[in-house]
C-alpha cells in the first residue's frame, strides 16, 4: 500500500503473541511431560486438532513422539509442526528438526486437520501415557462451508507451485490462478486475522491464498524482530491449517530502497524459510513496493536475498517487487518491463509483482499489465477497487475489467485488505474485528461484498 499509515499502539500484536504464549505454556505445573489435546474448531464433517506438549519435568526433552488411535471412519489429512506416520488407525507424530528440544517448563504445539467425528484416544508421549490429558472440547461449529471441504482445499488440489513459462502452475504442470486477501499491517490489525476470521475467509469466501503483510518500518518489524517473526510463523500455521497458500509479505515501503533493509530481510527470510521448508504452501514476497530507485537496485537486493531462501527452501515461488511502487515503472519514468527483460533476476520459480488501485490506475496501467503478462511471470499481490491510498470511491467497473483480464491470462491476485480500517478499501466495517463476528455479508463494506462475491465462484483447479 502506498499510503503511510497512522501510528497505532502495538497492543493488538502483543495481545496476539501473548495469547499464543498462554496456549503454549498451559499445564507447566505438571510433574512430568504431558501432551494435551483440544479440538480448536469443528465444521461438522471435519475439525482442527492441536496437541500441546508441556515439559513439567526437571530434565530437557531432546525429542518427542506422540502416538494415538483414531476410530474407524476418522482420519488425518493436513498437519503441521510435526512429522506424521501411521499404521492403520494408529497415528504417530514426531518433532521437526527445529522443535524437538523442550526445556523444563516450556511447551511446543503441533496440529492437524481431521475428517470424521472421532477424536484421539490411547495417547502416549515418548512411550508413556499423555496424562493428564484434557478431554476433547469442541468449539461451536463454524457456518457450513460454502466451498469444498478440507480434503479438497487449494493446497490439497495443487500442491507445490512452480513457475512454468509466464504462468503459475500446480504440481501437475497446470496453469492456475490463485485469489485471496491480504491482511493489513500486523502491528495495527492483528485482531482482524484470527482463527474465526480465517475460517470465514477459507470456508465462506473460498479464498486460495492469504497474504501476511508485515510492515518493516511504521511500527513494524524493526521495532521487535523477534515478536513479528513469531507472529508470521503463527499466521503461516493458521493458513496451512485451512489449506490456504501463504504469501509472506516483506512490506517495505518507506524508505523505498529495499537495500536499506537488506540485512534485516536476510535474517528474517533465513528463519522463515528454515522453519517452513517442508511446507508446499509458502510463497516469499521479498520487496513489497520499491520506489525511488532503479530496477538495478531492486535486482541487486533480490540477488542477495533469494539465495538465502533457496539454500533452505529450493522449490518455493519467490515474488519480487518492481520499480515505482510495484507498478512496473508506470508510476515513475516507465520502462520497467523493458528494464526487467533486459536484466532479469537469475532465479527459477520467480515472479514479478504488480499492484494497482482501479480508481487511480486506469488504461495505462491496465495495458501495461496486459502486455507484461505475455513477457514475464506476473503476480498481482495487492490491488484495490479505490484510489491508490486505499480510500475514496470504489470503481467497480474498472476493477471488473482488471479481474476479467487476470482471469483470461490466469494472473493470480490478492485484494487489499482484510481488516476493519476506516478506509473504504478495508473489507469490514469499523468495529467488526473487536466483535469477532466476521460471517455473512452483514459486516462488509461495499468493497468487501464485491470482492467476496467474485472470490466465491468456483476455481478451475
Instruction: Determine which helix (DSSP H) or strand (DSSP E) holds 383, and give its type and residue range.
Output: strand 378-384
* E strand spans, 55-105: 65-69, 75-80, 83-87, 90-94
Query: What is the per-residue burial (b if ≥16 Cβ within 10 Å, else e) of 311-337?
Result: ebbeebbbbbbbbbbbbbbbbbebebb
8 Å CB contact between 263 and 222: no
The dihedral of CA 419, 421, 424, 425: what is its sign?
negative
Q: CA angle at residue 117 from 114 to 120, to 5 degrees?
A: 65
Grid cell locating 430: 469499523
Mark whether 382 is an active-site residue.
yes
Grid cell locating 384: 484495490
8 Å CB contact between 246 and 283: yes
Mark whether 166 is an active-site residue.
no
8 Å CB contact between 136 and 440: no
Q: CA angle at residue 397 from 394 to 402, to 5 degrees?
A: 100
Catalytic annotation, pick one of 218, 289, 311, 315: 289
Please tell me the distance from the alpha carbon of residue 178 to that of residue 406, in angstroms, as a whole number.
10
Tell me which residue of 135, 160, 142, 125 sits closest to 48, measured CA to CA.
142
Pairing verdict, β 413-416 and 90-94: unpaired
Tell me which residue of 290, 201, 292 sits closest to 238, measured CA to CA.
201
Residues facing 124 on adjacent strands: 67, 129
Please tell me the distance from the alpha carbon of residue 240 to that of residue 234, in angstroms, as a whole number.
10
Query: What is the per-residue burial (b if ≥16 Cβ within 10 Å, else e) of 245-276?
Result: bbbbbbbbbeebbbbbbeeebeebbebbbebb
Instruction: Determine which helix (DSSP H) or strand (DSSP E) holds 187, and give its type and residue range.
Output: helix 186-189
8 Å CB contact between 288 and 251: yes
Please tell me the distance from the alpha carbon of residue 254 to that of residue 215, in angstroms, as a whole number.
10
Catalytic annotation, pick one of 218, 234, 285, 382: 382
Neighbours of 44 (CB within 10 A): 11
Grid cell locating 44: 461438522
Write out the catalytic residue numbers.
289, 382
Amino acid at each position: 500500500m502506498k499510503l503511510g499509515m497512522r501510528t497505532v499502539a502495538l497492543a493488538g500484536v502483543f495481545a496476539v503473541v501473548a495469547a499464543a504464549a498462554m496456549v503454549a505454556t498451559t499445564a507447566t505445573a505438571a510433574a512430568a511431560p504431558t501432551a494435551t489435546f483440544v479440538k480448536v474448531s469443528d465444521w461438522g464433517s471435519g475439525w482442527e486438532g492441536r496437541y500441546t506438549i508441556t515439559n513439567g519435568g526437571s530434565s530437557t526433552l531432546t525429542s518427542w513422539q506422540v502416538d494415538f488411535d483414531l476410530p474407524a471412519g476418522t482420519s488425518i489429512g493436513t498437519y503441521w509442526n510435526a512429522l506424521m506416520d501411521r499404521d492403520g488407525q494408529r497415528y504417530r507424530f514426531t518433532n521437526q528438526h527445529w522443535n524437538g528440544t523442550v526445556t523444563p517448563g516450556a511447551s511446543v504445539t503441533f496440529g492437524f486437520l481431521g475428517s470424521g467425528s472421532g477424536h484421539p484416544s490411547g495417547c502416549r508421549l515418548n512411550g508413556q501415557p499423555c496424562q493428564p490429558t484434557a478431554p476433547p472440547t469442541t468449539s461451536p461449529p463454524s457456518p457450513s462451508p460454502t466451498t469444498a471441504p478440507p480434503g479438497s482445499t487449494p493446497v490439497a488440489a495443487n500442491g507445490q507451485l512452480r513457475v512454468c513459462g509466464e504462468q503459475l502452475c500446480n504440481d501437475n504442470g497446470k496453469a492456475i490462478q490463485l485469489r485471496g486477501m491480504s491482511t493489513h499491517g500486523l502491528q495495527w490489525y492483528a485482531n482482524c486475522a484470527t482463527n474465526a476470521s480465517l475460517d470465514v475467509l477459507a470456508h465462506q469466501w473460498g479464498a486460495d491464498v492469504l497474504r501476511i503483510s508485515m510492515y518493516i518500518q511504521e511500527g513494524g518489524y524493526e521495532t521487535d524482530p523477534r515478536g513479528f517473526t513469531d507472529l508470521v510463523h503463527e499466521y503461516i500455521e493458521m493458513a496451512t491449517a485451512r489449506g490456504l497458500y501463504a504469501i509472506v509479505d516483506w512490506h517495505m515501503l518507506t524508505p523505498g530502497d529495499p537495500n536499506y533493509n537488506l540485512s534485516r530481510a536476510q535474517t528474517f527470510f533465513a528463519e522463515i524459510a528454515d522453519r517452513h521448508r517442508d511446507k508446499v504452501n509458502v510463497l516469499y514476497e521479498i520487496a513489497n513496493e520499491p520506489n525511488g530507485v532503479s530496477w538495478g537496485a531492486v535486482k541487486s537486493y533480490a540477488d542477495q536475498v533469494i539465495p538465502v531462501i533457496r539454500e533452505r527452501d529450493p522449490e518455493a515461488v519467490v515474488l519480487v517487487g518492481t520499480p515505482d511502487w510495484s507498478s512496473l515503472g508506470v508510476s515513475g519514468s516507465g520502462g520497467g518491463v523493458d528494464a526487467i527483460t533486459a536484466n532479469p533476476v537469475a532465479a527459477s520459480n520467480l515472479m514479478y509483482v504488480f499492484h494497482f488501485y482501479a480508481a487511480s490506475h486506469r488504461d495505462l496501467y491496465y495495458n501495461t499489465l496486459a502486455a507484461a503478462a505475455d513477457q514475464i511471470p506476473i503476480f498481482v499481490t495487492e490491488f484495490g477497487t479505490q484510489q491508490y491510498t486505499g480510500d475514496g470511491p470504489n470503481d467497480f467497473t474498472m476493477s471488473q475489467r482488471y479481474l476479467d483480464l487476470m482471469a483470461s491470462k490466469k494472473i493470480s491476485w490478492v485484494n487489499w485488505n482484510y481488516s476493519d480500517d476506516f478506509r473504504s478499501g478495508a473489507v469490514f466495517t469499523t468495529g467488526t474485528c473487536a466483535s469477532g463476528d466476521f460471517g455473512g455479508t452483514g459486516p462488509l463494506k461495499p468493497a468487501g461484498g464485491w470482492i467476496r462475491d467474485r472470490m466465491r465462484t468456483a476455481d478451475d483447479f
